[in-house]
Amino acid sequence: MKNQSKPLGKYWSGQQFVGLSVFDSKGNDCGKIQSICVDPKTFSISGVMTKQRLSTEYFISATYFEILTESSLRLNSIPIKPHDKIIDVDGKSVGKVIKINLNSETNKIESLEIKSRFKSKIIPSDRIVGIGDKITIKD
């Protein structure tokens, strides 16, 4: 991933964000920006909707943003995405993320809806102990 440092100009329109690649803190591709989300009270960017290939769109809060160049958005950590694998603290597979439930006021994760074989269940955010290639939860 190249880090270009061309000046971005004083103002950006929403269309300039659409299509930019998103990379996590390890340089992994998280998809492309589909749209920006603006807080209606402060008129500031609260986050972006991102989509990776055939997966569903998901929200990335502005608190994850590290640096924006004219070709990409780099994040300061690894976000939770739909279809991420979930394991328990013993390394046993639990399922995959099918939905991320956010608090509408803070944009923080409240819970994850996961699918394990033929059933789905809700995992509260306080059970998440690690995020990386896989998401680790405690029982």
SS3 call for 115: strand
Q: What pLDDT does residue 111 have?
A: 92
Query: Homologous superfamily of 14-75 in CATH?
Result: PRC-barrel domain (2.30.30.240)
Query: Domain boundaries in the chain?
Result: 14-75, 85-137
Domains 14-75 and 85-137 share a fold: yes
CB burial readout 60-85, b (16+ within 10 A) else e: bbeebbeeebeebbbbeebbbbbebe
| Four-CA torsion 45, 77, 31, 123, nearest 10 degrees | -90
Per-residue model confidence as pLDDT tens for the chain (139 residues): 445 545 556 677 777 889 999 999 989 898 999 998 888 888 888 889 998 887 778 888 888 899 988 889 999 988 888 888 999 999 899 999 998 888 877 778 899 999 988 899 999 999 999 888 889 998 7
85-137 belongs to CATH 2.30.30.240: yes
Q: What pLDDT does residue 65 have?
A: 92
| Whole-model pTM over 0.75 | no
